[in-house]
Amino acid sequence: MDLLQWLSAILLLSGCALGVIGGIGINRFPDFYTRMHAAGVTDTLCAGLFFGGLMIHFGLTLASAKLFLIFLFMLFTCPTSTHALAKAARHSGLVPWTKTSGVEQGASK
Amino acid sequence: MSDHLILRIVGKFLIPYILLFGLYVQFHGDFGPGGGFQAGVIFASAFVIHTLLFGLESAERIAPQWVLKIVAASGVLIYALVGVAAMLMGGNYLDYDFLAADPIAGQHIGIILVEFGVGLTVASVMMLLFFTFAGRGEAS
């Protein structure tokens, strides 16, 4: 494999790692806000690394241009959807978890 | 609703591209994945986003219900008329080969017209359904 293939593989693997970390975060964190933090923060970079790796793999082709457009779409919509979720939760009066508040909301332990 | 600034700006930014992508899926349907059903739903989703962010009244000013009803019916009419046109030109119902002198050109014309009708109907019916549910409780 030449250098670009390796670069693409590294990007894809680190994207995978971020996705898995986000998944672990969703399972392990105690309440809605912290879980959403885990998912929302990793999601955008995970998708970005994926599309970066695929674009390097395909080179300068039409497929790369389409991937770039999807990447732009994800870049705008992922943080916005996280924002909308957090806002909806705060509006409906969900109180953030603290160490002293104790009760975990449906954590899988 | 007045303080959803981020959502409104991102929504305003995205809606034209969603509409454009809907049209792409519609008219690219005979070369790649796509077609009237998918395009109609994508097209309607742009209006759904607009309704969620700017309210039902604003959406009904852009797409009044009586217009949507006419568009929904005319989509079905286009579909049926393509079939009748094929019959008038000497083929079976919806036999696209007879729509032009060349059978392959006829196929192209036929499938594009039929998918256009499907797209119109699906988009307007999706919007009508959403508006009906969104308007419940306000109208009565």
Asked if residue A104 has pLDDT above 60, the reply is: no
Range of the domain at B59: 5-134
Asked if residue B68 has pLDDT above 70, the reply is: yes
Residue B86 covered by a domain: yes
CA–CA separation, B33 vs B53, rounded Å? 30
Cα dist from A10 to A16, A75, A86, whole Å: 10, 21, 32
3 state SS for B28-67: CCCCCCCCHHHHHHHHHHHHHHHHHHHCHHHHHHHCCHHH
Asked if residue B119 has pLDDT above 90, the reply is: yes
Residue B139 covered by a domain: no
Name the band, by pLDDT with cuts 50, 70 and 90, for residue B76. Answer: very high
Contacts of B13 in chain A (CB under 8 A): 76
pLDDT digits 0-9 by tens, A5-52: 999 999 999 999 999 999 999 999 888 898 998 888 888 899 999 999
Asked if residue B7 has pLDDT above 50, the reply is: yes
Least confident stretch, A22-36, A93-107, B48-62: A93-107
Q: What is the pTM of this model?
A: 0.80
Q: Is the ipTM of this complex over 0.85?
A: no
Q: Is-contact B40 B122, C-beta < 8 A?
A: yes
The average confidence (pLDDT) of chain A is: 87
Name the band, by pLDDT with cuts 50, 70 and 90, for residue B138. Answer: low
Name the band, by pLDDT with cuts 50, 70 and 90, for residue B100. Answer: confident
Least confident stretch, A12-21, A79-88, B44-53, B98-107: B98-107
pLDDT of residue B104: 87
pLDDT of residue B15: 93
Does A76 sit within 8 Å of B10, measured CB to CB?
yes
Contacts of A84 in chain B (CB under 8 A): 7
Asked if residue B1 has pLDDT above 60, the reply is: no
The average confidence (pLDDT) of chain B is: 88
Closest approach of chain A CAs to the CA of B9, in angstroms?
10
Residue B30 covered by a domain: yes
CA–CA separation, A22 vs A19, rounded Å? 5
Does B17 sit within 8 Å of A73, measured CB to CB?
yes
Residue B140 covered by a domain: no
pLDDT of residue B56: 87
> Nearest to residue A46, comparing CAs of A79, A22, A80, A70?
A22
Half-sphere exposure of B133 (CA within 13 A, CB side): 8
Contact residues, chain B to chain A, C-beta under 8 Å: 4, 6-7, 10, 13-14, 17
Does B10 sit within 8 Å of A77, measured CB to CB?
yes
> What is the total count of domains within chain B?
1
A/B interface, count of CB pairs below 8 Å: 15
**In chain A, residues 30-49 whose CB comes closer than 8 Å to chain B:** none
Cα dist from B38 to A38, A71, B16, B43, B44, whole Å: 32, 21, 17, 9, 10
Asked if residue A107 has pLDDT above 60, the reply is: no
Closest approach of chain B CAs to the CA of A80, in angstroms?
7
pLDDT of residue A52: 92
Residue B95 covered by a domain: yes
> Nearest to residue A10, comparing CAs of A41, A45, A56?
A56
Closest approach of chain A CAs to the CA of B7, in angstroms?
7
